[in-house]
Amino acid sequence: MNISSVFQNNEKWIAEKLAGDEDYFTKLSQGQQPEFLYIGCSDSRVTAEDLMGVKPGEVFVHRNIANLVNNVDLNVMSVLNYAVRHLKVNHVVVCGHYNCGGVKAAMEPVDLGILNPWLRNIRDVYRYHKDELNAIEDVKARYDRLVELNVEEQCVNLIKTAAIQEAFRERGVRVHGWVFDVRTGKLIDLKINFEEKMRSIMEIYNLYEPVSMVK
């Protein structure tokens, strides 16, 4: 792959789309109404559109190292607020993946310079669940489990936000946790209980009255 081939591929893609629908780009330019916000990893092997089988305009995408939802990251918070409050998505997905380099780096006692503050979020996930993780003797299985737990914790981070709580109250928005298995191509639903997770944190993180928003 080189720069010239990228533009050649673009021309082929345009021709294919127009062959199927001569008004394809006219329709595409009229706006977007995605059903999903997808928060995934920046890993080049894990592209939201491909693994979900969706077309342009159907999913709003944010990607960063290890699919984190960090409340002091203005990038992910801006994407979340725009998607939920303006585009009115009904489903917010955090999608991790096995063989994640960010998660693996967080498991190793190594100084990674500028990455340290970012990876500390994953190391904190390990700290929250260290008893479960340390009980897993197989390193690969422990690695996979940390990937899953990281997704779960990022879903909880979403539930802590005003945007999600407001959208849940007003139209029943849902948060989902998925993992993509790069070894098989399968997309795995972790079946995170959204309402249960919300109930478990509302005493502290509820941003709306009454406290019993989720009974």
- What one-character DSSP code corresponds to residue 27? H
Euclidean distance between the first and final Cα of the chain, in Å? 54
CA distance 126 to 129: 5
* Residue with the two structure tokens 């990937």: 147
Would you call 142 a catalytic residue per the annotation? no
Query: What's residue 208's pLDDT?
Result: 80
Find the catalytic residue in 100, 144, 155, 176: 100
The whole-chain average pLDDT of the chain stands at 94
Would you call 97 a catalytic residue per the annotation? yes
Find the catalytic residue in 62, 95, 97, 176: 97
Find the catalytic residue in 45, 120, 127, 171: 45
Query: What's residue 99's pLDDT?
Result: 95
Query: What's residue 209's pLDDT?
Result: 64
Confirm if 69 and 152 have CB atoms less than 8 A apart.
Answer: no
pLDDT above 90 coverage of the chain, percent: 88
With 0.85 as the threshold, say if the pTM is over it: yes
Would you call 45 a catalytic residue per the annotation? yes
Amino acid in position 106? A
Q: Minimum mean pLDDT among 105-119, 142-156, 195-209: which range? A: 195-209
Write the DSSP assignment of 153-210 as a string of letters: HHHHHHHTSHHHHHHHHHH--EEEEEEE-TTT--EEE----HHHHHHHHHHHH--SSS
- pLDDT > 90? residue 19: yes
Residue 215, helix vs strand vs coil: coil
Helices 162-171, 74-81: crossing angle, 10 deg rounding = 10
- pLDDT > 70? residue 215: no
Segment 159-179 shows an average pLDDT of 96
The values of phi and psi at residue 75, to 5°, are -65, -60
Residue 91, helix vs strand vs coil: strand
Query: What's residue 35's pLDDT?
Result: 96
Query: What's residue 210's pLDDT?
Result: 56
Segment 93-101 shows an average pLDDT of 97
Would you call 95 a catalytic residue per the annotation? no
Find the catalytic residue in 41, 144, 155, 176: 41
Query: What's residue 214's pLDDT?
Result: 54
What is the per-residue pLDDT across 28-76, written as a single tens digit (0 to 9) for each? 999 999 999 999 999 999 899 999 999 999 999 999 999 999 999 999 9
- pLDDT > 80? residue 2: yes
